[in-house]
Structure 1
Amino acid sequence: MSIQPVKSLKLHKDKVWSIDCSKGLLASGSTDRSIKIMDLSKYELLDELDDTVHKKAIRSVAWRPHSSLLAAGSFDSTISIWTREEEEDLDNSWEMELLAIIEGHESEVKSVAWSHDGCYLASCSRDKSVWIWESDEMGEEYECISVLQEHSQDVKHVVWHPHLPILASSSYDDTIRIWREYDDDWESAAVLNGHEGTVWCSDFEKTEERLRICSCSDDTTVKVWRHIRDDEDDQQEWVCEATLPSVHQRAVYSVSWSKDGLIASTGSDGQIVIYQEVNGQWEVAAKRDLCHGVYEVNVIKWIEVEDKIMLATGGDDGFINVWDWSSDQTNTTSSNMNSIQESAISK
């Protein structure tokens, strides 16, 4: 298996922190305070959202499931909600408009994520808290229904299970916490200990057959955790099922679990690593160096491009790179990516 460059687009003037894909649209957020919307079928930039709305970097973007609603979390402590305008111009232009600004966090918002049914928006912050917001159907009104403050340090990332009302948060305190609803309130159901550094990101397995989550850390490892049981006090028991083969040489910033069971990771060393599970054992299926040249890679996501599963990454160089992977191609060198980048910039 090899990882091949498909497209490389210089969409931002500064670091790309976050990307999210829905219905063929890719949204990205950057230190340059802008949010870009791209059509993945044509690799065409559709819209650039107003970079005066937020006063500081856009740290996280997330599409609401089954809608055109987009949430963006910023270092200015606020969250913006955007939606596509109902009426398009006669020239078939594509625009999104600001729908709401959500305030509440006392420090930088590090991550935002929608629940699988779109009813809840979770956010986390440098203020050590996780907030859960309830949204109306139109996405215009937001009520904070729970403030979760069990983490002892900066909370880096939140992610919902793709089918269940379960939330995971990753923190500078080296832990992952699992949250779920109890008697109309949200509480910590489990604390996952095992990393020896900041946990930057986690992602749930997409199957409904079992409950597992992968995580990545400053300690250069990627781990897989499995839910064992719920005890009599409604607490969950989890175990670290596997530490994936050691490949990364520096902090791992982002992991993504695909629908077909592959885990992809990236980070400070600029590598993309794809892991696959074979007979219960995890092995490296493919890896690639210098994926954004000498720059760090901040985020990786499995995406769908015209029914094909691919990877997208965002780096400190301001590029968003799209990657294909296969088992019948030989690996290309970094110079190939350079030529693709130059071609993309000229367009």
Structure 2
Amino acid sequence: MSLTLLKSLLLHKDKLWSIDCAKGLAATASSDRKIKLVNLRNLDFKEVEELDDNTHKKSVRSVAFRPHSSILAAGSFDSTISIWGREDSNDLQDSQETELLAIIEGHENEVKSVAWSPSGEFLASCSRDKSVWIWEADELGEEFECLSVLQEHSQDVKHVTWHPQINLLASSSYDDTVRLWKEEEDDWECAAVLTGHEGTVWCSDFENSDAPLRIVTCSDDSTVRVWKHVEDSEDGEDVWVQESILPQMHTRAVYSVSWSPDGYIASTGSDGVLAIYKESEQGKWEVVAQHSEAHRVFEVNVVKWTKINGEHILLSGADDGSVNVWKFSA
């Protein structure tokens, strides 16, 4: 198995924090307060559009496409979330300009992450104010109602992500835990707390399967771990167990993990290492590809799987404002 660098794109003038992909398009977020859109179709890699408009006064920390549309949410250190879209929300590739649809306010401090539920009905956001908010969105992405403010984390919440098939939300925190949230009787409640990491949990990502439910997490403690749902609980928290600690590839904080639909896990972090893991038939995780200096001397903040023309493509973003495009051959 091999990992080949196809292209390096210098998109931003400051740290690149977040990448998301939809319908052959990639969106990136940066400390330079800009959002860039890049065409991935046919391995084109040309910049399509820059979203600036002086919308955000501080770093844009996270971007997320709404499923089945071109609507994009962006969370910023200025405590707001911007929502962007086109007149034809299903067409990403024509010459339309992306327009600002809405500004969402509510958080008292920096917004660290935003994520859409698999149906696109809900938008989750998290913040340095220790809270996770769940918003209900209208079809056009112009109106948002806050349904719940979840305040059970004791520290800064770094990241939120939804299971790709069901309405199960994970939040990762500076308090060294991951909390799992689900809707119960028209309210959102904590279904489980994953404990075991010995440092900030920076990111998590669900496996694209509903049986069993599994999630991968990464931390300041330089580990990558897989957790499995064991059973639901009718009284109290659901039961999740730590299933595996993946082979030790990192020497410093691991900032980002991504679980591909084909079962590969990618991780990256402050040591610049990009690693790919595969689970054997015996349930043992092995490293199948790695690069020790994915962005030369720079810390790598995010990694994201996508597919282009049937090829496994991995996008990584770093402190130098660049996106590297990698081809993974299994």
The residue aligned with 1:293 is 296
Separation in 1, partners of 2:324, 2:45: 11
Alignment of 1:236-251 (within 5 A): 236-251=238-253
Match runs of 1:99-118 below 5 Å: 99-118=101-120
1:309 counterpart letter in structure 2:
H
Bigger mean CA deviation after superposition, 290-299 or 47-56: 47-56
Distance 1:200 1:234 in 2: 26
Which residue pairs with 2:2 in the alignment?
2
Q: Which amino acid aligns with 1:30?
A: S
Partner of 1:324: 327
Q: Partner residue of 1:18?
A: 18
Whether 2:223 is the aligned partner of 1:228: answer: no
What TM-score, normalized by structure 2, do the two folds share? 0.96
| Aligned counterparts of 2:96 and 2:250: Cα–Cα separation in 1 | 40
Deviations 1:107-142 (A, max 9, x none): 000000000000000000000000000001111100
Q: Which moved more, 1:252-261 or 1:318-327?
A: 318-327
Per-residue deviation, 1:207: 1.6
Equivalents in 1 of 2:218, 2:147: separation in Å?
29
Q: How many residues align?
A: 323
Structure 2, unaligned runs of 5 or more: none
Q: Which residue does the alignment assign to 1:342?
A: none
CA distance in structure 2 between the partners assigned to 1:246 and 1:270 by the alignment: 14
Aligned-partner residue type, residue 147 of structure 2: I
Relative distance call for 1:32 and 1:114 in structure 2 (3 A) is: same
Counterpart of 1:82 in 2: which secondary structure?
strand
Q: Tell me which residue corresponds to 1:268.
A: 270
1:277 to 276, 279, 288: 279
CA distance in 2, matches of 1:308, 1:284: 20
Q: Would you say the 8 A contact 2:266–2:275 is kept in 1?
A: yes
Deviation of 1:286 (Å): 1.0
2:30 equivalent to 1:27 = no
Displacement of 1:326:
2.0
Aligned residues of 1:296 and 1:316 also touching (Cα < 8 A) = yes
Contact 2:302-2:318 within 8 A present in 1 as well: yes
Q: 1:187 aligns to what SS in structure 2?
A: strand
1:235 Cα deviation after fit = 2.4
Question: Which residue type is aligned with residue 311 of structure 2?
Answer: K
The code of the aligned residue for 2:31 comes to T
Tell me which of 44, 49, 52 is aligned to 2:51: 49
Q: Deviations over 1:251-301 (max 9, x none)?
A: 000000000101000000001000110021111111111111100000000
Task: Verify the 8 A CA contact 1:35 1:51 in the aligned structure 2.
Answer: no
* Mapping for residues 1-347 of structure 1, pairs under 5 Å: 1-41=1-41, 42-86=44-88, 93-233=95-235, 235-278=237-280, 279-326=282-329
- Tell me how far apart the structure 2 counterparts of residues 260 and 118 of structure 1 sit (CA, whole Å): 23
- Determine helix, strand or coil for the equivalent of 2:247: coil
Q: CA deviation at 1:51?
A: 4.8
CA contact (8 A) 2:274 2:290 kept: yes
Give a deviation string over 1:23-52, Cα, whole Å, max 9, x none.
000000000000000110211111100251
User: How far is 1:208 from its partner?
Assistant: 2.5
Checking the alignment, whether the CA contact within 8 Å between 1:160 and 1:168 is kept in structure 2 is yes
Identity %: 65
RMSD between aligned residues: 1.1
- Cα distance change of structure 1 residues 260 and 86 upon mapping to structure 2, 3 Å threshold: closer
Q: Which runs of 5+ in 1 are unaligned?
A: 328-347
Deviations 1:148-193 (A, max 9, x none): 0000000000000000110000000000000000110001010000
* Alpha-carbon distance, 1:234 to partner: 5.3
Indicate if the aligned counterparts of 1:24 and 1:306 stay in contact, CA closer than 8 A.
no
3-state DSSP class of the match of 2:263? coil
Q: Deviations over 1:176-216 (max 9, x none)?
A: 00000011000101000000000000000012321000000
Instruction: Give, as a single letter, the amino acid of the residue that structure 2 aligns with 1:99.
Output: L
Task: Please give the secondary structure, in 2, of the residue aligned with 1:294.
Answer: coil
> Contact (CA 8 Å) 1:38, 1:47: kept in 2 or not?
yes
The structure that has the greater radius of gyration is: 1
TM-score normalised by the chain length of structure 1: 0.91
SS where residue 73 of structure 1 aligns? strand
Structure 2: distance between partners of 1:51 and 1:250: 37
